Structures are given as C-alpha cells and as structure tokens.
Amino acid sequence: MSETSPHPDAVAALVNARHGDPFALLGPHEGSEGTVVRAFLPGARSVSLVTQGGSKPMRLVQDAGLFEAALDRAPYLLRIDWGDAVQETEDPYAFPPLLGELDLHLLREGTHQDIGRCLGAHPMVVEGTAGVRFALWAPNARRVSVVGDFNGWDGRRHPMRLRHEAGVWEIFVPRVGPGAIYKFELLDPNGSLLPLKADPCAWQAEVPPATGSIVVDTAAIVKPAPRPHPAPPETLPISVYEVHPGSWMRGEDDKALSWEELGDKLIPYCTGMGFTHVEFLPVMAHPFGGSWGYQPLGQFAPHAPFGPPEHFQRLIARCHEAGLGVILDWVPAHFPTDAHGLARFDGTALYEHADPREGFHQDWNTLIYNLGRREVRNFLLGSAIHWLETYGADALRVDAVASMLYRDYSRPHDQWIPNIHGGRENLESISFLQDLSRVIAERCPGKLLIAEESTAFPGVTRKADEGGLGFDFKWNMGWMHDTLHYMERDPIYRQYQHGGMTFGMVYAFTEKFMLPLSHDEVVHGKGSLIGKMPGDDWQKFANLRAYLAFMWTHPGKKLLFMGGEIAQWREWNHDRSLDWHLLDEPRHAGVQRLLRDLNRLYASMPALNALDTDPAGFRWVVLDDNANSVLAFLRFGPDGSPPALVICNLTPVLRQGYRVGLPFGGVWREAFNSDAAIYGGANNGNGGMVHAAEEASHGLDASAALTLPGLSTLILVPAEG
C-alpha cells in the first residue's frame, strides 16, 4: 500500500456506502508521489482523466468501482464509460466547501432568515462550472447522499460532506440543472438505511403520489418589489374570499385549474365581487389532497399539481396588479408522518418531539414541531419569510394556533407533559410565535399575521414586546359559533337565544378580530351555509341574506369561504367544483349580488370599517328586544364621517311603525335592504328613505318609525352622506 493509498477499511466503508467523509478519499489528494485522483463510480466500465494534455485511463483499484490515477495537471474532467453511454463531467469531489462561515454560524444559532436560499438545491456556477449545490440539515446521520435521475438513484455515487459545526451536509454536483429530480439517502446513527427523504427546503416537488424534489432555478425567481405600506390594517376595509384552489372551479375533464388558469378566472371574479383579499387554503406541497393542504411537507414549495413555482409567483403578482391582496394559510403546528417527509428525518426525532405526549397530535395523527429546538424554529421562520418575500404574499394566516399554545390541547389528563413551571401553556410555542411576529415586522414591514385561535388566550393581537403574541388579527371563532347557532334556530325560538347575536360585543374590542365563515363550517357533515338556515326555501334565503348583512356591518374584518356567496346547497367537496350553475336561478344570483353590494358599501363607508377595533365605532341602539328578535346598532367612522344605523329583524314577521333612535333628525337614506327584490326578497321596506323626528328614543335625540321586513337587515345613513 503506497503512502497515498487509502486504508482498506476506509475503502470498504466507501464501497458499502457507510463512509461519513467521502471527501477524505475521493477527488484529488496530495502525497509524496504527487497528486492522485480517486473516483468511486459503481457500474462504470472504464474511467479516464481528461486534461489539457490529453486523456489518461484510471486504474480500477477496487472491483466495486473505485478508480485511481495520478494527475499530471489540473483542471481535469472525468470521462466515464457506462457501457451504453459515455459521460464527461467535472469531479464533484474536486470542489471546495461552498457554505460560508457566516451561513454555518447563523444555521448553528438558528437565526438564518434566508434558509430557503441556503439549504436545499440551488443551481450556481462554481469555478466556471455550472451545477447544483445541495445542502441538508441532518446532524445525527452517519452518511448522507444526494440521489436522483442524474446518478441512477445510487446512494454510493454522491455521498456528501458534513459541515460538523452546523450539522449540515453539502455537495456540489456539476452539470446538474433545473428540472432534475432528487432525494436524500441517509444512514441513521445506528448505520441503518432510512427511506429516501424529500428535501425539506425544496422549492418544487413532484406531483403526488410521486414524492421526489425538483431542482428549481432559484436565482431566476426574483423577489418582487415590496408593496407600499398601507394605513394601519385595523382602519382599512378587509373583506377576504377564502379559496381552495383545486375546487373553486374545475376545467376541462373536471381537472383542477392551473395557477395560470386560476388567475384568469379567480382574479376578475374577486375584484368584481368587491373582495379586498383572496385567502388560499395551504398551497404548500402536501402528499394527500384530502388534507386540503393542512398536512404539508413542502414548507418552501407550492403544491405541484397546479404548476411550477414561478407560475404561483406570477399569480400573486397578477392579484396585486388588480388591487387584490393575497393571504396564505400556513401550518407551523404539525406535519404528516409520511416516510419520505420530516418524520425521524435522520433516524432521530429531529423536527418533532421524541416523547409522543409532546410530539404526536392525536386528533390528526400528525407530528408536532419541536419549537424548543432553534434549528426547527429557524426552518419555520425561514418558510414564513419565503412566502412573504419570495412570492410576495401579503399575509399569513397561521393555522391551529390554539393547538400550539396549550400542552394539553385535546389530550387526556395523563397524556401531556407540563411546562417547566408546571403549567399547561406551551412556552416554546408562545416564544416562537412572538419571534415570528417580530421577525416579520422587521424583515417584512406591512405584511400581516392572522391567527386562527379559538380560545380565550390573552393578547393574541397585542405586540410581542408588550407580552402579546404579535398577530395583526385573530379569527373570532366565538362570534362565529354563537351567531351560527342562533341562525340555525327556528325564528320562533330565537327570542330565547338573543344573546347569541349580542354577546360578541362584550369582548369585541379585546382583540383585533376578523369574523370568519370559513371552510370548517361547510364540511364533515355540517352542510352548507344556506343549508343551516331554518324554514322553507324562501326563509332560508332570507335568513342567509340577513345574516350576511349583519356580519358585514358588525365590527371586525370579514372572511367568507367560497360557495357561501352563491348560497350553494351542497356541502363543500374538495374534489368537485362549486355549483356555479346555481347562478341561473334568481335567488342564488340574488345572494351573490347582495354580497357584492355589501362589499362595495363596506369599502365605501368609513363607519363600517375604520373603527373596527375601537369601542368609539359602535353603540347599541336596540339591544334587548328579544321578544321581537330585533336588534339595532350604530356604527361610527372617524370625526366628520357620517354614521350608519343597522337594524336586524330576525323573525319572518313584517313590523311596521317600529321606532328606532337616531343621533339626529332629518332625512335618512335606506342605503341597503336585504329584502330588496334585486336580492330575491319581498321588496318590503321604507321606500328608500325615512324622516327622523326630534323625538328622543333609545337614549338618542331623534328617532324614526320604520318598516322592518321579515328576516331582514337594513342600513340607514344620513341622506347627505
């Protein structure tokens, strides 16, 4: 054995794909006899070194495919005869480490905010050679190889270099480019081979059920310019249309629309309906369509069936060009257990907690991110930044926040572990959410965070530096449950449930709220919105119209899941299009028109939006007329803007001469009537205007005797307003 020859044990480890430091053997190595190049190419018939001086055969020194030759001059290429083809390429093991010391330092600290452009697969040119740098965090693996369609999925071909200080493996593979399909092959700490793993930081994934990652020209996906910062969001009209991309509308042969096709149809629909934002159920790559995206594995990759990443980025840009904001549902709480995913990624509980009492979500059969680990927090923070910066999304709606905040969430008393103080609060998750809000505010000013949080946890929308979680808005799940429960009751019994419509105002200003009628209310046997309404068909439509108008005038930003605006009878099915044919029927078209008009009225009247989170923007006028199921309230805008009076009559009884207090006398215009004929109603009302007399009522200086149509909501504004 010469001085430069590797030890037989090292060769055996390399041949058996168990060597943890392949760069110590492969590539060029200096010795007393000069430079020797080694290449391990299983299956190659012959290999030659190609330099400017010519070609030199390499000697087979191990039958499994280890070749060796002295190098006369650099640089060199490897000419590989595979039998059916000859390949000429640079040697991956001739390239130096590419991740810089700053990258490694930030990764080790868990503060690398550009992790999506550091780890994963990134095409680049190194020393004049085009290829792809692969990098993967897997600190407990004994060996990691990148495998793909460029190396026959052979884990012996491209074992990677471990950067010990950060637990990151890397390799530059020359002459690989965008479109290549790849995964990672890992040996666990015991030396056992794991199932092939997809890249956690991949920017593109194969269409399920395939599970590979795809190399993307990440440098070509340029971050869009930041949008101008709007006024404080709580002072703006925000009306959100929640959409599942695969089932909003289907194309030919009942196929889901692509990102491009969706942009052609969805954007004009949303803007024509007056919505300010579209919110997509999670678009992050997920293995099972029936999860609707709420069990994602690709936290950096748009879901593949709808098109490549650049098309999704273009969809958001087109939304912005049309004046439509984009909200993305984002899931940092848990992930599915698929073998190719994050579960026991390097043979250990790397992304999840090791103890199932902390790491397994019993309701959803998923694994819970270990947010006490800095690298896991870094991974998720990097994902959030990726969607807001690289794709230009305007907001993230964070899913399942309640499940993150409490260690005993949906667990029996003996199936959870208290925090260090003996309490039930998940201190690590709380800290993560606070860090998330701080990072987004600093790195992505003007972008919003919205919490789906269903408990009374205090300070969800208080700034993190003031002890809150730092969200901009919180879904008001209590309001949704109470009001829907009320509306589902037969009107004859509503007098006993009056608080369902009024209780929300007790806490309406404790947080900055968004009122949601989301997808969760029209699945799993809950039926549709119109289907929840009591009575015959006429009453069902009237109830729905009155309820939507109540929602659009109540303090809080608005969110409606697709299909609610056309009064779809059928419960939502993620594999079917909405029932757009219903719009051929006047009653369904009437609900759609009502919602369009509500959006326009809401956006044009400061009284309905500017003080949504300020008690000065609301006053009860009729609070306790439960016997008639009537309620009325005033909405106020900033100084000088006209107020609006909202009156709801939630029984089918037409009430005439019903006196309601007003802040001043004169002519008040009936700006909206949910019973109007154009919406499918009976067209009862006040002839478009009322005269308020200087007759005090309900603690106000003036009042008017109104006609209240059955099952209706009216909006009155001063005539000059």
* pLDDT at 4 (0 to 100): 60
pTM (predicted TM-score): 0.96
Between CA 542 and CA 549, with CA 546 as vertex, the angle to 5 degrees is 140
Between helix 374-385 and helix 101-109 the angle, nearest 10°, is 110
What are 59's strand-pairing partners?
A: 68
The closest alpha carbon to 316, from 283, 356, 349, 363, belongs to 283
What are 655's strand-pairing partners?
A: 708
Distance CA 97, CA 54 (A): 28
Distance CA 197, CA 142 (A): 15
* pLDDT at 644 (0 to 100): 98
Say whether 144 sits in a helix, a strand or coil. strand
The closest alpha carbon to 271, from 323, 326, 227, 327, belongs to 323
Task: Identify whether 575 is a catalytic site residue.
Answer: no
Task: Identify whether 399 is a catalytic site residue.
Answer: yes
Structure tokens at 351: 């992304």
* pLDDT at 33 (0 to 100): 79
* pLDDT at 721 (0 to 100): 53
At residue 120, what are phi and psi to the nearest 5 degrees? Answer: 95, -155
CB within 8 A of 690, min separation 6: which ones?
667, 668, 670, 704, 705, 706, 716
What are 666's strand-pairing partners?
A: 692
Among the listed residues 188, 389, 399, 428, the single catalytic one is 399
Q: How many C-beta atoms surround the C-beta of residue 304 within 10 A? A: 18
First-last CA distance in the chain: 96
Say whether 319 sits in a helix, a strand or coil. helix
* pLDDT at 641 (0 to 100): 92
Instruction: Dump strand ranges (E) for 5-142.
Output: 27-31, 34-40, 46-51, 54-57, 59-62, 66-71, 77-81, 86-89, 120-126, 129-137
CB within 8 A of 452, min separation 6: which ones?
397, 398, 399, 400, 401, 402, 475, 477, 516
Per-10-residue mean pLDDT, the chain, length 721: 70 90 94 89 95 93 93 92 94 96 95 96 96 98 97 96 96 97 97 97 97 96 86 95 97 93 98 98 96 96 97 97 97 97 97 94 94 97 97 97 95 93 96 97 96 94 96 97 97 96 96 97 95 97 98 98 98 96 98 98 97 96 97 94 97 97 96 98 96 95 97 95 53
* pLDDT at 229 (0 to 100): 78
3-state secondary structure 258-284: CHHHHHHHHHHHHHHHCCCEEEECCCE
* pLDDT at 449 (0 to 100): 98
The closest alpha carbon to 103, from 477, 382, 485, 456, belongs to 382
Structure tokens at 140: 């407990």
Cα torsion 696, 698, 703, 705: sign: negative
Amino acid at residue number 434? Q
Distance CA 409, CA 411 (A): 5
Structure tokens at 666: 């004169």
At residue 404, what are phi and psi to the nearest 5 degrees? Answer: -85, -30
Q: How many C-beta atoms surround the C-beta of residue 76 within 10 A? A: 23
Cα torsion 228, 234, 240, 245: sign: positive
Distance CA 641, CA 635 (A): 11
The closest alpha carbon to 50, from 29, 80, 25, 22, belongs to 80
The closest alpha carbon to 167, from 368, 309, 29, 374, belongs to 374
* pLDDT at 1 (0 to 100): 40
Structure tokens at 37: 């190049």
> What does the radius of gyration of the chain's CA atoms come to, in whole angstroms?
31
* pLDDT at 227 (0 to 100): 85
> Would you mind telling me the total number of residues written for the chain in this entry?
721
* Domain architecture of the chain: domains with CATH: 8-94 (2.60.40.10), 101-220 (2.60.40.10), 238-606 (3.20.20.80), 611-718 (2.60.40.1180)
Say whether 236 sits in a helix, a strand or coil. coil
